[in-house]
Amino acid sequence: MSHALPLILALLLDAALGEPRWLWNRLPHPAVLMGRLIGWADRRFNAGPRRRLKGTALMAALAMGAIALGKVLAALPGGPLIEILLAAILLAQHSLVDHVADVARALRISLQDGRRTVARIVGRDTANLDAPGVSRAAIESAAENFSDGVVAPAFWFLLGGLPGLLLYKVTNTADSMIGYRTPRHEDFGWAAARFDDLLNLIPARLTAALIALRKPRRGQWQAIRRDARLHRSPNAGWPEAAMAIALNVALSGPRSYDGTLRPFPWVWPEGIRTPGPLQIDAAVRILWQVWALLVATVAILSLV
């Protein structure tokens, strides 16, 4: 576990500093650079016949480029420091907590403020959400993005160092940009979506396990497994089900995308259906508790 100690330092650095605005107002964030590259490729190659083949070739090129770049950066003088700093930049605990907590603060001001704030972190339609809908959206984002933005990057950094981390981040960025089942992206983004599902397979379940381990209860894991399968995503349902059970809040359920109401099933339907700022605050506390459990787990692995 040669990457365990750098990972612990990166997790602590991210938690302490987050994403300083003074820096990213002057320099492009690495994730922004990845997004620009993927956006250019989408405009350049996503046209004409054989779009799935083109998208697969793009994903392969992105993956190989990320691995190669990670190896080059790790081999530079000061490579360990570069690894720690870049890992801290690409982890998202501090920023995730800030964004989720902002929704609770905004919702306490007004429903309209809550809608505007939650729209920054979710993709669903927010203009007509009621207060429980805003709260559910924030809690779901907290659970899913803790898996995608903290546990999965940490997992792949622990296994593969900087090459593993960059491979995951470029894949996850590609999925978030082109991995949609829309006429434009269903073929071109197919490989990005499938590869992202593969890379998140273990981290999503690990996230659910960490949330459950906070307060183990009889039958908890069976309930998580049952409700995770109700989610439209093969991975996102795991952290979402674990968070729903931890808070005793029913999540997911019907919601609107692009003006169309979609009848998604409830995750943990036994939970309360009228969450509010108090439940968002509780989700934020859980994020920090599970983050601490993650750090402790990596510390134990470093000793092993």
For 10, 93, 104, 159, the CA distances from 14, given in Å and listed in that order, are 6, 7, 22, 19
Give me the phi and psi of 26, to 5 degrees please. -110, -30
- 236: which DSSP letter? T
* Cα dihedral 196, 245, 291, 135 in deg (nearest 10): 80
* Cα dihedral 215, 216, 222, 225 in deg (nearest 10): 50
Cβ neighbours of 25 (radius 10 Å):
7
CA atoms within 13 A on the CB side of 232: 11
Tell me the sheet residues that pair with 257.
Answer: 260
Integer Cα distance of 243 and 260 in angstroms: 26
Q: Where are the domains of the chain?
A: 4-303
Q: Structure pTM? A: 0.96
For 60, 94, 142, 292, the CA distances from 288, given in Å and listed in that order, are 35, 9, 11, 6
Tell me the sheet residues that pair with 266.
Answer: 252
Per-residue pLDDT of the chain (304 residues; tens, 9 = 90+): 589 999 999 999 999 999 888 888 889 999 999 999 999 999 999 999 999 999 999 999 999 999 999 999 999 999 999 999 999 999 999 999 999 999 999 999 999 999 999 999 999 999 999 999 999 999 999 999 999 999 999 999 999 999 999 999 999 999 999 999 899 999 999 999 999 999 999 999 999 999 999 999 899 999 999 999 988 889 999 999 999 999 999 999 999 988 899 999 999 999 999 999 999 999 999 999 999 999 999 999 888 7
Integer Cα distance of 146 and 155 in angstroms: 12
Share of the chain above pLDDT 90, in %: 90
